[in-house]
Amino acid sequence: MLLAQISDLHIKADRALAYGVVDTATMLERCVQRLLALPQRPDAVVITGDLVDAGRPDEYGLLRELLAPLTRCVPVYLLPGNHDDRAALRAAFPDHDYLRQWEPFVQYAIEEHPLRLLALDTVVPGEAGGALCGQRLAWLERALAVSGRPTIVALHHPPFASGIGHMDRIGLSNAPQLAAVLRKYRQVMRVIAGHLHRPITCAFAGTVASVCPSPAHQVALDLSSAAPDHFVLEPPAFYLHVQTDSGLVTHTAYVGKFGGPYPFREPTTSPQPAKT
């Protein structure tokens, strides 16, 4: 199975620039084009939160329009982040039945693919940081207990500290409780997250946890507890998770034109001698 992951789209109403700088709508359009142009089309796409910037209905209307070329071709699964609003998300995507599997939280199990997808809702309304209350953790434990199939667990807030101080202060507040659940179940091949706008990997709870970069702006790489709250316009990217005989392998795919592809071989014609 080939699962694409994008995250942290931050779509604003009327295609406004995020922070007055980042054209997130155009960058998402380019990301969708790149996904559809891949030599191997993904079997599904999961978007791990911060779909829009302020949780407004008009932002979700634009998001739906921007994702339409993708949703017409592959299943797309949406997950809220701290910039999202559950009710507005559900209202904008009434045909996405999985968003209503369990009220009030947007937690769901997708069973239709070789890799099982369990999506967790870490949103705490009004707060930038995230948490998984006892109800949400109990849901996860029940979902893991009923099937031993290879599983990916998706959430917005990563369950580990990255070293980027200002982001860690708005991370997942109860990661140890999540780890305690996951350690009981060997079928969890990966925990995938967003929020940090960088490609990051960490060993976690007997498996691997990874954070997906953004198709728009990235968080500045400053590994200090006092790191300023800055972003950079490094190349936009997304993840491709591919199931192989070795396990789950993750590739970082960049969005943009970088030249190539070129064959790994020398030219077949000899260079001409310089004229004297």
How many domains would you assign to the chain? 1
| Listed range (28-37, 38-47, 245-254, 257-266) with the worst mean pLDDT | 257-266
Q: Which residues contact 264 (CB under 8 A, 6 or more apart)?
A: none
pLDDT above 70: residue 178: yes
Indicate whether 275 belongs to any domain: no
Q: Report the C-alpha gap between 23 and 30 in whole angstroms.
A: 11
- Mean pLDDT, rounded, of the chain: 96
Per-residue model confidence (pLDDT) at position 28:
98
pTM over 0.85: yes
Containing H/E element for 251?
Answer: strand 247-254
Indicate whether 263 belongs to any domain: no
Indicate whether 267 belongs to any domain: no
Beta bridge partners of 4: 45, 240
Distance, C-alpha 258 to centroid of its chain: 23
Task: Kindly report the number of other CB atoms within 10 A of residue 4's CB atom.
Answer: 26
Q: Using one digit for the tens of pLDDT, what is the confidence trace for 216-229?
A: 999 999 999 998 99
Q: What is the DSSP letter of 235?
A: P
Q: Tell me the percentage of the chain whose pLDDT exceeds 70.
A: 97
Domain extent for 48: 2-254
Indicate whether 111 belongs to any domain: yes
**How far apart, in Å, are the Cα atoms of 235 and each of 52, 198, 199, 219?**
20, 10, 11, 12
Indicate whether 12 belongs to any domain: yes
Q: Using one digit for the tens of pLDDT, what is the confidence trace for 8-63?
A: 999 999 999 999 999 999 999 999 999 999 999 999 999 999 999 999 999 999 99
> For the domain that residue 106 is a member of, what is the CATH number?
3.60.21.10
Indicate whether 265 belongs to any domain: no
Containing H/E element for 129?
Answer: none
